[in-house]
Structure 1
Amino acid sequence: MELLVLDPRRDDWPALVAEAGAETMVLLLDCRRDGLREMLDATQGRPGFARIRIADAGGPGRLCLGALVLDMPALAARKEDLARLGQRLAPGGVLHLCGGGGGASAAGGRFVAALARLMGRDVTVPRAAWMPGSIGALVPAALVAGAAVREAAARHRQA
């Protein structure tokens, strides 16, 4: 099963709903509510998701999730909620950012790496977002994200 999280400020959200398959649960966020809390509430008691896709209206280094703007400073404040969201993914499951967040910038790369570390899961972005003029700034961030996931898995096995 997959979860598709949509921000209604995106013009293409109706098309994304229409393209969603039968195995996809769709969550249309409320712009007046905390979108991370909405995601946690919607996934409560559900089996592990193979993938959570977020199509938001944010930009590089931030996610707009309803009334919540999740950027680098906000990540630390929401680390428990992000870890909980990571636990809602099945082993090997991924968070896929199809809107803002990653972006083709060093800030986007650092954001993705930090998000992966806090969730204990891989975070991916569309391939085009990883093709900036200078990819050198993104490579270390991608390596850090992968290392963070391996470290979290090792801690889980030891527990």
Structure 2
Amino acid sequence: MDAVRIIAASRRGLAEASTVHEVIVEAWQAQALAEAVGSHLAIFGPYEVRSRARGLGDAGGRFSGGLLRPAPRTGGLRAAQLTEVRDVRGALTGLRGLLREVCEALVNVVCSADEEGMYWTCVEAMDTADESSDRITGILEKLEVRDRNLA
């Protein structure tokens, strides 16, 4: 399945998340997707962005999600369905937007967290999402430079 479709499904999943556990699971899903997109682009992406894409894959894989696994209603790990990234720029832009939305949802969870473990799980998830977002910005900048040089 194409990355853009999976990103859209992840955005819907996050929007429908109604419990703390579901928000954390969606954060984990988004990070797994960042890892999968980064790894895919490191192999099949434009040559100029492959090393940065490896960094995105590494960053995406750092969040353990408090060792949470996807809830049964999510149908498993969405990132496992990734087979292609047809629109590299569109996928990266969408993924960066998803990671921002994840951070916003996690801020709401942090503000209401009544246990220290949940607080630190959310902080870890926000840090990882922020790092992944920064790496995506770097890849997009590299693509822009490449496109200018080709023109």
The interval holding the TM-score normalised by the smaller chain is 0.3 to 0.5
Bigger strand share: 1
Bigger helix share: 2
> Taking CA–CA contacts closer than 8 Å with sequence separation of 6 or more, which of the two structures ends up with the larger relative contact order?
2
Taking structure 2 as the reference length, the TM-score comes to: 0.36
Taking structure 1 as the reference length, the TM-score comes to: 0.35
